[in-house]
Structure 1
């Protein structure tokens, strides 16, 4: 079910085997593949809800100057609406054939969202060190989405570990480096289309059939790579720093 991509020259062999070769062009996803990919994500425990879709260079919603075109849920009740129920997802997919879908984070999974080049660098290091990585998606707007287990919702709220990397949809512009999507946030789930006339998409490079890893096993690799990529800008470097208590 995974889409795939190749690594860089010199390291291509190991990384390519790890990511299973070279991914096909995203335009190959048809309506049947879309539904199958959505059901595979739900089957892996990712709760889904319908999202807006591109309308030309803009968004299908009726908000003038939508700040996140084709990247947001269609319902304000997306957190309670999100589900892994196969029948409901089939109904949504068939009745809303153009809709993107989001997956609500902080329920069963989190997402570490990084600049694409930093993410590829981190994946090379993870592959070299033999660290297990789960589902990974790429967005053609320059981001990589690394899916992990959630930090959870402990019975004792004092045990919750707040972190400066926690990212909510309305604060994404404040996190140009690493964004940690957990409770109260969401990301687009593949296959999704982005605005524009160049067939930009969000697509899997490692599909949802891969087990979710502990986020802390990946975090140092990702933060180090982000620091190298955004270190020229002190404000961006702060956004890529190791998490600290508030």
Structure 2
């Protein structure tokens, strides 16, 4: 009887410990959600036009497209360009309605994004800071040297009323031309980039390296260093491929 009573006394304590752990997990999740909302709203307040995006779900994407080629990396709506907004109230409604959604920022309106391979971006950032160049906001997407990217946020070339005044660039990147730009991609009119914090497949994420509160630099102050770093990176990639597949 005494032994049975001892087990009965311990049972409520076990339940209490389980309840405490559940409360701690719920509290941590609540804090993480609040922090995420703060960061998304900070991006909108910094002038980055935002729109809801898909997010990783299971082994695929939250969208209903079978075999989605870019899971968690694309807008939810086809009207993302006109939908994108910097209004805090609108962003708050999206956060409440779609708590798991990533967010993209529409480029070419208030800002552009220079998007480079991760290793090239790290090399360029180190060089730019050593040279005393004002870099501005920078984000990192993923950790893999093969697929990771670094995003440099800059002022935009703009969208003048006179189309002839807008100077095109061979680096211009649009959603449908991503694969054509394995090196440096220039996201301007008609393109977008994920804005931190965002979740990627495989447990990776998009995070700020330098926050959105920093002033946006002129893209031309970064371009030469970024292109040089990308050239070095692409040269190493080509050398590695040739070493892996020697020609008789």
TM-score normalized by structure 1?
0.81
Equivalent in the alignment of 2:5: none
CA distance in 1, matches of 2:140, 2:171: 20
1:219 to 184, 200, 223: 223
Q: CA deviation at 1:177?
A: 0.2
Q: Name the CA distance, whole Å, in 1 between partners of 2:113 and 2:68.
A: 23
State the Cα distance separating 1:94 from its structure 2 match.
1.2
Q: Distance in 2 between matches of 1:56 and 1:218?
A: 38
Match of 2:78 among 68, 76, 79: 76
Residue equivalent to 1:86: 88
1:57 Cα offset (Å)? 2.3
Q: What is the distance in 2 between the residues matched to 1:132 and 1:192?
A: 25
Deviation at 1:233, TM superposition (A): 6.1
Stretches of structure 2 that go unaligned for 5 or more consecutive residues are 1-28, 239-248
CA deviations 1:142-170 (Å, max 9, x no partner) are: 10000000000123211111111000111
Alignment size in residue pairs: 206
What is the SS of the residue equivalent to 1:114?
Answer: strand
Aligned to 2:208, what secondary structure does the other structure show? strand
2:58 match: 56
Which structure's relative contact order is higher, taking Cα pairs within 8 Å and 6+ residues apart? 1
Q: Return the match for 1:176 from 178, 182, 185.
A: 182
Paired position in structure 2 for 1:30: 32
Deviation at 1:231, TM superposition (A): 2.2
Alignment partners' CA distance in 2, 1:174 and 1:57 = 26
Under a length normalisation based on structure 2, what TM-score does the superposition of the two structures give? 0.80
Q: Structure 1: any 5+ residue segments left out of the alignment?
A: 1-26, 235-246
Q: Which one has a larger percent helix, Structure 1 or Structure 2? A: 2
RMSD between aligned alpha carbons? 1.5
| Runs of at least 4 residues off by over 6 Å | none
C-alpha distance in structure 2 between counterparts of 1:103 and 1:138, whole Å: 15
